[in-house]
Structure 1
């Protein structure tokens, strides 16, 4: 089974997806939907492992490893909520790229009159996006 898609913006004219399956009784549309969801689940598992360290089970007891896995799952869900609330659809990405875009910033933090002031580098590429995100988070908190 082959699914070919094409958009006007793409440089390569066709995007092909191939599915080899033994589930011949299902409709092709149902099979593609099922396999795409499976691929999405595999991407989420990969992000849990690579971006959140979900595969780290170096503690000596099962209870500690379980607690670590649960905390990692909570962190993953909080980041997903953050992305849904504050990150536009076209900028949705993995935790690694969000971490790089939002937290790898040259700058300094100062305190003036009981206020924390963040001074970002003037050449920070994502400065406008970062400022907008901070404003939205602040509005949600008040």
Structure 2
């Protein structure tokens, strides 16, 4: 006789959606570390690395954002406040990430220290967005 646990951990979003969302994390971490390396060494190439890592993260995040909004608007899913909080977190991460990309597009000297601070903020937002993507109340699944 097989038994199942009702409290087992399940992925509540589509696996591809989770992959798109989680793929932003190492890129944003790399951007933060590149900004830190520039602030220590003043080698301009570190800002270039950070800029490219942010653009790569925004590509993944843009696809995840599109998926998140479409999933929230689907009629066959229950609409609750938690799902829209998840959408808001992903939108906030994308907006701060885009502002971070614009700051990194400036001259290397002009990008600091705002670039480092924005990279940290966008990393924290990305972590909260990923956490919300794995949490039932935010992903819109009924208990």
The structure having more radius of gyration, on CA atoms, is 1
- Higher relative contact order, structure no. (Cα contacts within 8 Å, ≥ 6 residues apart): 2
TM-score between both structures, scaled by the size of structure 2: 0.26
TM-score between both structures, scaled by the size of structure 1: 0.26
Name the one with the larger helix percent: 2
